[in-house]
């Protein structure tokens, strides 16, 4: 379904487009694979949450994380939740809607493992939510200068979230006095930091400069989503014995 942009201008607005560049077969395959992986992960996480006992908060977070991702990927696979943006590109706004929930859930999960204070967890969740709102508005902006301002705002929010993950939560987990939990947090934080930092890079070369095709953009985001919404969950699920060494923190 990929088609060339027929409007001969540098950055045509959606109203000027006669042909839209849509996701191709490779991108559709990535959406299908992402949907299957996240759906299977959701079933596994829910089964673990059912028998988790006092550690249910960890597994409920992973279940919602992959479950919401599953819904988003089903919507994209069904051809829903998209619009046309500047450059005559197909833009899946439903992806940002999902990230607005799932990425703060990743921060929450890390905060629970670290047993950080509620204020720090809320601040990290809010910061990554700002990143998602800003990159959405940047993607649908028709004026290039406005687009870059939104990206800058989003990066500021993302930096705040990364500071929470790499510094604030890390300090909190060190206070737990458990080497095993500290190592577990280190693996999760490394995975989350890498994935979160990669999102604006994909945005920059896809929506920003238009250098990535829509299909390549979909494939790149699918890899990052699976890392954050499934792999991170499996890291937590596989560390039940480690998490049992410390009482879980309830986020209220």
**Considering the entire predicted model, what is its pTM?**
0.90
Residue 184 pLDDT: 94
Q: Residue 108 and residue 116: Cα distance in Å, rounded?
A: 10
Q: What is the pLDDT of residues 132-179, one digit of tens each?
A: 999 999 999 999 999 999 999 999 999 999 999 999 999 999 998 889
Find the DSSP H helices in 78-166.
93-114, 118-140, 144-163
Residue 3 pLDDT: 41
Token pair for 88: 């005559």
Q: Residue 123 and residue 54: Cα distance in Å, rounded?
A: 25
User: What is the average pLDDT score of the chain?
Assistant: 90
Q: What is the pLDDT of residues 70-81, one digit of tens each?
A: 999 999 999 999
Q: Residue 39 and residue 164: Cα distance in Å, rounded?
A: 29
């Amino acid at each position: 379904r990929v088609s060339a942009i027929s409007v001969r201008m540098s950055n045509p607005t959606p109203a000027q487009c006669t042909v839209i560049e849509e996701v191709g077969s490779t991108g559709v395959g990535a959406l299908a694979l992402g949907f299957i992986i996240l759906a299977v992960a959701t079933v596994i996480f829910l089964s673990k949450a059912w028998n988790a006992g006092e550690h249910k908060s960890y597994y409920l977070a992973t279940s919602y994380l992959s479950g919401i991702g599953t819904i988003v990927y089903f919507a994209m696979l069904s051809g829903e939740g998209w619009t046309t943006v500047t450059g005559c590109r197909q833009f899946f706004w439903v992806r940002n809607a999902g990230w607005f929930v799932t990425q703060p859930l990743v921060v929450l999960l890390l905060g629970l493992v670290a047993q950080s204070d509620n204020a720090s967890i809320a601040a990290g969740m809010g910061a990554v939510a700002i990143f998602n709102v800003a990159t959405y508005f940047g993607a649908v902006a028709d004026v290039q200068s406005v687009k870059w301002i939104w990206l800058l705002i989003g990066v500021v929010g993302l930096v705040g979230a990364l500071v929470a993950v790499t510094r604030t939560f890390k300090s909190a987990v060190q206070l737990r006095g458990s080497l095993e939990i500290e190592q577990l947090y280190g693996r999760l934080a490394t995975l989350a930091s890498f994935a979160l930092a990669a999102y604006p890079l994909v945005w920059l070369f896809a929506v920003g400069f238009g250098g990535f095709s829509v299909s390549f953009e979909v494939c790149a985001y699918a890899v990052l989503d699976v890392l954050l919404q499934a792999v991170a969950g499996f890291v937590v699920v596989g560390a039940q014995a480690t998490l049992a060494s410390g009482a879980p923190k309830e986020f209220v």
